[in-house]
Structure formats: structure tokens, C-alpha cells
């Protein structure tokens, strides 16, 4: 005898998806054109057809447990070929925006980082904190505030010691929130794929296998943007994303180099312009500005063409990253020229933008870095689990079952 289940749609979820840019979801009539045309969809796990159905029905838990949502790069191919104008790529983008808020703790931070006013307010608040710390630092060192005597030297205004204290505290907070979000996401996709959990947090691979067999291949794929390069309508976006990604990696290396060299080994700052690390830092800054400008240009063009729909969250992150790059270059140029009235304010603005970008990681579209990477790892592991080739970091074995059996 057939079994019938009553579905109670989550109307708030449907409303959230439509408000975030997925207002065309109800046009879908399940023709599957999107899954056929998508260059990233597979026979084993086709998308975005099933996600469109679940979104129409308000099945929030099912979508929360679907890693495929994060494998979509919103390339616009499905939108270009959809006979009903349902814009599946935009709907999945809206679902991801809602998922980021769902995993954010506290959610008020996600609400704040999800609008331009909140981001600008965070930048201003961060600048205010920097100025307060700089003032007390000037009392400790005896330097004039806000413009120390002599040439423009930022470590006279605010040494690396208080800067590191501020940013390490912020990084610790962001790290804890990010780890919590990733763990919750992993638990949800484990349930969604039909994994039986003995721990309540979702099954997981052993640490050695996680790092070597799943995480490293995922990182290699991300660094090359292999999937992104398969996208058709917005193929040029892959170049801009690659520039931004590698710029972040370069600047991350430079920041940690200066942190270790200056704080631990007492290296004098600023480094001369001919220093290899300084040259690398400037290359990273130029790549950041160039890459984000490519993304901005592409989004503007494709939005006008109707290929994709850019949300406010898209533009907020783009302009925030652009502000980080421009203020970084600006503070260096004004320092070299020696214009105190522009150098120190630009430097404070740069620190405020960097702090806000840090905070944006788990609370804005920047969280794609967390959840898409996790989805890549999970996809590799889940494939091995179903083939009986995976090891587990649990005392009892974990077996895949169908969602109905779970």
C-alpha cells in the first residue's frame, strides 16, 4: 500500500528565498532543462531541478541538507535556456544567501552584514576602535596624536603589537563562528544524503583521510577553479575570481610574514620597496583590485543582459573588497609622498575595511568560501562512502541509507 506523507511548507523560507532574489521560483514546472544544460550537474546528483521543487514546496530542512546547492556557481546557463524564465541560478543564489544566515551565530550579525548600512556602520565602528587604541598607544609612546612628528610612519601611530592584538581577537571570534557553521552544515548534509549518525553531529572521515584524501584535492580544485571554468554564460568571471583568490592568499602570506618577523624577530617596518615581500604585497594588492573590478564589470554587464540577477549582498561584498584594496594602495602611496593629512586617515579607513572584511567571512556572501569548500570535501567523501572506500572518525561504522529509511 502506498505511503503518503503530509508536507507542511515553511512559508517563511519561501518568502526569504523570494526576497533574496529567487522571486521567479514559482515559474518552474519541472521540465529539467536546467539540469540537462548545467555543465556542473551530474547523473548521480542532478541539480538545480530538485532544489527548485523543494524551494517551491518550502522544504527548508531538505534544502539545508543538500550539498548541491553550494556546487552551483550561478553561471547563468540554466537561466539562459529556461523556457519559463524561472531563473534557477538566481533561486539557488537566494537559497545560499538564506543558508548563510541560517548557519550564522548570532543571526543579528548576518542581518547587519547583509545590508549596506550595517557594513558601513561596521567600518566606522572599527575605525573608531582603531582611533581609541591609537590614542592610548600615543600616551604610552609619547608620540603626537593623530599625526606623529616627522615622516609618515604608521607604526608610530599604531604599532604592530596593538594591531595584532585587535585582529587576532577578531580572527579567533570569526574562526569559532566559522567552525560552528561548518560543523552544523556537515551534520545537515549528512542527514540529507541519508547517513546514520551515532554522534548527533553527522558522520565524518578520519582526520588523516580528511586532510590527505578529501581536503587536499578539494583545495587543488578550488585553486584552479576547475569547475568555474566549465560555466558558459559567465566564463570570464572565473578569471576575476582567480585573481581575487590568489590575491587573498598572497596578502595572507605577507601579513603573517610581517607578524612573525616584526613581533617575534623585531624586524623594522615599513620594509623598503625593493624587499621581495613588499613587492609581493604590492602584486597582491594590484591583483585584488584588478580581480574585483573584473567581477564588478562582469556582474554589471550580465545583470543588464538578464543572464543573472545580482543581489545587494553581491554588490556589498564587491565594494568592500574593492575598498580594502584601494585604501591599502592609497595608504602606501600617501606614506611615500608624505602627505600626513591623507596618509593617516586612509590608513585608519584601511584598517576599518580589513576588520569588516574579516567579520564578513561567516556572515555575508563571503561565506561561500566556507560552505562551498566544505561541499567539495563532502562530495568526495560521500562518493567513497557509497563505494565502500571511506574510513570514519567514529567508533561505530556509518552506513548510507535512503532519506526515507533515515
At 233, the pLDDT band (50, 70, 90 cuts) reads low
The mean per-residue pLDDT over the stretch 325-353 comes to 96
Check whether 202 has a pLDDT greater than 90: no
Give the contacts of 208 (CB within 8 A, at least 6 positions apart).
none
Number of Cβ atoms within 10 Å of the Cβ of 245: 17
Q: Which of 5-19, 215-229, 333-347 has the lowest mean pLDDT?
A: 5-19
pLDDT of residue 401: 46
Q: CA 35, CA 43: separation in Å to the nearest integer?
A: 9
| pLDDT of amino acid 367 | 94
Q: How confident is the model at residue 403 (pLDDT cuts 50, 70, 90)?
A: very low
Lowest mean pLDDT among 23-37, 317-331, 392-406: 392-406
Residues 6+ apart with CB under 8 A from 255: none
- Using a 10 angstrom Cβ sphere, with 0-12 exposed, 13-18 middle and 19 or more buried, the burial of residue 335 is buried
Grid cell locating 302? 550580465
pLDDT tier at 341, thresholds 50, 70, 90:
very high
Scan for cell 584598517, then name that residue. 351
What pLDDT is attached to residue 196? 46
The percent of residues above 90 in pLDDT, for the chain, comes to 40
Coil/strand/helix, residue 153 = coil
**How many Å from the N-terminal Cα to the C-terminal Cα in the chain?**
20
* Domain residue limits, the chain: 11-103, 107-373
Distance CA 278, CA 291 (A): 20
> Which CA distances in Å does 9 have to 2, 5, 95, 284, 359?
22, 12, 15, 47, 33
Q: Check whether 234 has a pLDDT greater than 80.
A: no
> How far apart are alpha carbons 136 and 141 in whole angstroms?
9
What is the full DSSP assignment across 241-295?
A: HHHHHHHHHHHHHHHHHHIIIIIIT---SSPPTTSHHHHHHHHHHHHHHHHHHHH
Please name the residues in contact with 375: beta carbons below 8 A apart, sequence gap of 6 or more. 67, 68, 69, 70, 71, 189
Amino acid at each position: 500500500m502506498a505511503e503518503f506523507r503530509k508536507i507542511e511548507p515553511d512559508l517563511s523560507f519561501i518568502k526569504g528565498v523570494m526576497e533574496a532574489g529567487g522571486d521567479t521560483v514559482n515559474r518552474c514546472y519541472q521540465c529539467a532543462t536546467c539540469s540537462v544544460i548545467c555543465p556542473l550537474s551530474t547523473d548521480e546528483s542532478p541539480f538545480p531541478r530538485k532544489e527548485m521543487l523543494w524551494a517551491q514546496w518550502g522544504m527548508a530542512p531538505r534544502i539545508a541538507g543538500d550539498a548541491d546547492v553550494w556546487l552551483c556557481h550561478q553561471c547563468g546557463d540554466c537561466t539562459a535556456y529556461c523556457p519559463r524564465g524561472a531563473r534557477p541560478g538566481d533561486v539557488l543564489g537566494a537559497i545560499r544567501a538564506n543558508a548563510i544566515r541560517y548557519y550564522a551565530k548570532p543571526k543579528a550579525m548576518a542581518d547587519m552584514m547583509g545590508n549596506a548600512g550595517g557594513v558601513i556602520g561596521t567600518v566606522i565602528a572599527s575605525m573608531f576602535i582603531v582611533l581609541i587604541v591609537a590614542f592610548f598607544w600615543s600616551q604610552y609612546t609619547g608620540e603626537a596624536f593623530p599625526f606623529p612628528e616627522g615622516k609618515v610612519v604608521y607604526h608610530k601611530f599604531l604599532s604592530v603589537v596593538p594591531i595584532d592584538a585587535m585582529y587576532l581577537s577578531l580572527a579567533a571570534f570569526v574562526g569559532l563562528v566559522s567552525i560552528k557553521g561548518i560543523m552544523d552544515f556537515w551534520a545537515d548534509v549528512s542527514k540529507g544524503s541519508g547517513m546514520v549518525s551515532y554522534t548527533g553531529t553527522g558522520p565524518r572521515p578520519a582526520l588523516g583521510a580528511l586532510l590527505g584524501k578529501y581536503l587536499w584535492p578539494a583545495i587543488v580544485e578550488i585553486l584552479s577553479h576547475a569547475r568555474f571554468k566549465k560555466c558558459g554564460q559567465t566564463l570570464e568571471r572565473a578569471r576575476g575570481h582567480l585573481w581575487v583568490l590568489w590575491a587573498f592568499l598572497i596578502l595572507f602570506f605577507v601579513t603573517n610574514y610581517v607578524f612573525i618577523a616584526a613581533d617575534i624577530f623585531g624586524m623594522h617596518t615599513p620594509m623598503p620597496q625593493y624587499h621581495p615581500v613588499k613587492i609581493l604585497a604590492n602584486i597582491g594588492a594590484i591583483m585584488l583590485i584588478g580581480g574585483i573590478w573584473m567581477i564588478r564589470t562582469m556582474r554589471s554587464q550580465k545583470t543588464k543582459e538578464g543572464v543573472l540577477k545580482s543581489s545587494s549582498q553581491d554588490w556589498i561584498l564587491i565594494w568592500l573588497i574593492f575598498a580594502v584594496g584601494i585604501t591599502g594602495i592609497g595608504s602606501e602611496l600617501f606614506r611615500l609622498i608624505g602627505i600626513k593629512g591623507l596618509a593617516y586617515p586612509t590608513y585608519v579607513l584601511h584598517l576599518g575595511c580589513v576588520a569588516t572584511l574579516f567579520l564578513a567571512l561567516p556572515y555575508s556572501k563571503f561565506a561561500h568560501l566556507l560552505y562551498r569548500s566544505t561541499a567539495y570535501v563532502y562530495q568526495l567523501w560521500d562518493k567513497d562512502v557509497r563505494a565502500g572506500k571511506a574510513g570514519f572518525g567514529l567508533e561505530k561504522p556509518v552506513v548510507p541509507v535512503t532519506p526515507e529509511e533515515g
